[in-house]
């Protein structure tokens, strides 16, 4: 038991967080920032309560409003203080040339990232626990049940963990302190402003006597299980992704940087679609027909676009170094399926297509049975919608695999692939507007306008006109006189996808064989020293 406790203590507070926190807590800047933040929180809280008392508001309304203000102020202070601490954690080591020394020790890259993250969270924990006495003011006025501080501090802690993880990631990928700090605060401005605006509106309505906070607490209580699942997934998905990316940036050349991301993708796609489907079924259920159908259509769109994003696995770099070739050679016999998680563009192509196809087939059947149970011909409609939804994934995987074999940098190849995957539907819609003066409707389309390449529109028409009638009269658009609109769409994406996949597959196999031969070739003997 003592050994387990020691390991848990090392995991939570190893040598890196202990060193970082000692250096931080001994400085005068921490004392000034810490004291100033608590004083500011108390001042804002007290002045707001005093102003609402003078306006004659009831005590319960004052308690709820001051509680919301306190949580908002603490979240704002976390957003201001944590990026500056976490965003300089790793890049500072690189600046001082101590990161190379760490890499020569037995500390692994993930332990460096985890240690810096725990150091940032120790900073946050001290601040949050020191602010607990401020909760006495809202409870003094009343209107709270007692669980609000637990939920609020849990949410603040998770928010701080995501902010700190982004800061550590920015520090890992940056070469200068200024760039790392800038990246850390950009995330706060992009994410924090919308969330802060919603919180400000809720608090403003509470200060005007409206019971928005009570309604929110009542809704959370009624749907506690699903809200907890949503919050856990919304936290875990970006946190794990950023953690993996930060660790990959600290790995030496020739290390395996693909397996962790592919394992993440294997869990992310089914889990994300499952969470979406659970929410749709929970909040809609057997109620409004059009809402259920639109939710099911959104599910198909999400799976297809997620598969297109993961098609960048097909743009992976070829294997580098003898270590990775030896790792691949060990995956034989019953371990052969594990090759899908090994680095390499061809294996990334197979991985993305296999996972997306499985989710579209199995998840699509479950989604249809849950939300489209009253559809006409659900089986044939299911496979037609899946065929259309899978088409851009095949196109994206083939494009990424082909571009990965060209003499281009990996970042440039992926950027060009992303541009083309976006340009096809967007350019199709722009062309349709220019040719006809409007977006495609239910009338027949002309062969001269490639509006049928605009993917969301095609899937929408296939979804409603073929699979899910009932909310109105929908006619499947035709190209020419008799060809359904999805036929040229499928022919274009599958045709180009298969051609580019074949070319890319052959080129990637030849490139990997050449690199394997170069690695296996013995090094030339060193010249003998002159006598």
List, as one string, the DSSP characters of 134-170. GGHHHHHH----S-HHHHHHHHHHHHHHHHHHHHHHH
Asked which of 252, 286, 313 is the last residue of a domain, the reply is: 252
- How far is residue 110's CA from residue 119's CA, in Å, rounded to a whole number? 14
List C-alpha distances in Å: 35 to 57, 127, 130, 131, 256: 31, 10, 10, 11, 45
- In this prediction, residue 351 carries a pLDDT of 93
What is the tally of structural domains in the chain?
2
Token readout for 42 is: 């108390």
Within a domain: 375 = no
Residue 367 falls inside a structural domain: no
Structural domain contains residue 95: yes
Specify the 3-state DSSP secondary structure of 260.
helix
Asked whether residue 264 is assigned to any structural domain, the reply reads no
Indicate the residue among 252, 282, 307 that finishes a domain: 252
Low-confidence ranges of the chain (pLDDT < 50): 470-472
| Confidence (pLDDT) at 465 | 77
Instruction: Collapse the DSSP code of 526 into the 3-class scheme (helix H, G, I; strand E, B; otherwise coil) and give the result.
Output: coil
The per-residue pLDDT for 472 is 46
> Does 138 reside within a domain?
yes
User: Within a domain: residue 522?
Assistant: no
Q: Confirm whether 118 is domain-assigned.
A: yes
Write the pLDDT tens digit of every residue in 477-504.
777 777 788 888 899 999 999 999 999 9
What pLDDT shows up at residue 407? 84
- The pLDDT of residue 235: 83
- Condensed to tens digits (0 to 9), the pLDDT of residues 41-78 reads 788 777 877 777 777 777 777 777 777 778 888 888 88
Q: Identify whether 326 is part of a domain.
A: no
> Could you tell me which residues come within 8 angstroms of residue 148 by beta carbon, excluding any fewer than 6 positions away?
67, 217
Q: What is the DSSP letter of 475?
A: -
Q: Domain residues for 484?
A: 399-517
Give one DSSP letter per residue of 305-331, joined into a string: HHHHHHGGGGGPPPP-SHHHHHHHHT-
What is the structure's pLDDT at 2? Answer: 61
CA-based nearest residue to 391, from 418, 428, 353: 353
Longest dimension (CA), the chain: 101
Strand partners, 109: none
What backbone phi and psi angles, to 5 degrees, belong to 484? -60, 150
What is the distance between the alpha carbons of residues 13 and 102, in angstroms, rounded to a whole number?
A: 17
pLDDT value at residue 355: 93
Single residue among 226, 252, 278 that ends a domain in this structure? 252
Exposure class string for 262-294: b at 16+ Cβ within 10 A, else e: bebbbebbbebbbbbbebbbeebeeeeeeebbb
């Amino acid at each position: 038991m003592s050994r387990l406790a020691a390991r848990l203590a090392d995991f939570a507070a190893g040598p890196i967080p202990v060193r970082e926190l000692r250096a931080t807590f001994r400085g005068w800047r921490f004392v000034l920032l810490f004291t100033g933040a608590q004083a500011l929180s108390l001042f804002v809280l007290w002045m707001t309560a005093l102003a609402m008392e003078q306006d004659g508001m009831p005590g319960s309304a004052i308690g709820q409003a001051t509680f919301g203000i306190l949580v908002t102020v603490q979240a704002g202070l976390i957003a201001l203080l944590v990026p500056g601490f976490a965003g300089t954690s790793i890049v500072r080591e690189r600046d001082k040339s101590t990161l190379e020394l760490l890499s020569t020790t037995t500390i692994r890259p993930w332990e460096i990232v985890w240690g810096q993250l725990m150091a940032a969270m120790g900073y946050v924990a001290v601040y949050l626990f020191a602010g607990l006495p401020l909760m006495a003011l809202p409870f003094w006025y009343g209107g709270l049940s007692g669980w609000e501080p637990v939920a609020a501090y849990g949410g603040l802690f998770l928010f701080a963990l995501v902010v700190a993880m982004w800061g550590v990631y920015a520090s890992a990928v940056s070469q200068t302190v200024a760039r790392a700090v800038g990246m850390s605060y950009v995330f706060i401005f992009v994410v924090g402003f919308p969330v802060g605006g919603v919180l400000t509106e809720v608090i403003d309505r509470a200060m005007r006597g409206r019971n928005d906070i009570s309604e929110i607490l009542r809704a959370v209580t009624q749907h506690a299980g699903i809200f907890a699942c949503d919050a856990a997934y919304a936290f875990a998905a970006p946190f794990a992704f950023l953690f993996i990316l930060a660790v990959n940036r600290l790995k030496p050349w020739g290390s395996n940087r693909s397996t962790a991301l592919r394992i993440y993708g294997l869990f992310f796609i089914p889990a994300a679609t499952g969470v979406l489907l659970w929410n749709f079924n929970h909040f809609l259920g057997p109620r409004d027909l059009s809402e259920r159908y639109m939710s099911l259509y959104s599910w198909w769109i999400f799976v297809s676009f997620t598969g297109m994003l993961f098609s960048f696995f097909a743009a992976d770099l070829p294997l580098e170094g003898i270590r990775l070739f030896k790792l691949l050679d060990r995956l034989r016999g019953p371990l052969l399926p594990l090759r899908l998680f090994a680095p390499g563009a061809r294996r990334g192509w197979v991985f993305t297509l296999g996972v997306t196809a499985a989710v579209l087939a199995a998840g699509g059947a479950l989604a249809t049975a849950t939300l489209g149970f009253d559809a006409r011909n659900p089986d044939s409609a299911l496979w037609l919608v899946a065929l259309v939804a899978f088409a851009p994934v095949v196109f994206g995987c083939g494009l990424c695999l082909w571009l990965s074999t060209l003499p281009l940098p990996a970042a440039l190849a992926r950027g060009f692939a992303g541009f083309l995957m976006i340009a096809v539907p967007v350019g199709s819609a722009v062309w349709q507007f220019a040719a006809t003066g409007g977006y495609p409707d239910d009338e027949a389309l002309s062969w001269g306008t490639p509006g049928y390449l605009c993917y969301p529109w095609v899937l929408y028409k296939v979804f409603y006109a073929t699979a899910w009638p009932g909310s109105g009269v929908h006619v499947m658009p035709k190209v020419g006189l008799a060809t359904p609109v999805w036929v040229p769409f499928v022919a274009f994406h599958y045709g180009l996808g298969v051609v580019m996949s074949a070319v890319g597959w052959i080129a990637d196999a030849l490139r990997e064989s050449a690199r394997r031969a170069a690695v296996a070739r013995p090094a030339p003997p060193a010249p003998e020293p002159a006598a």
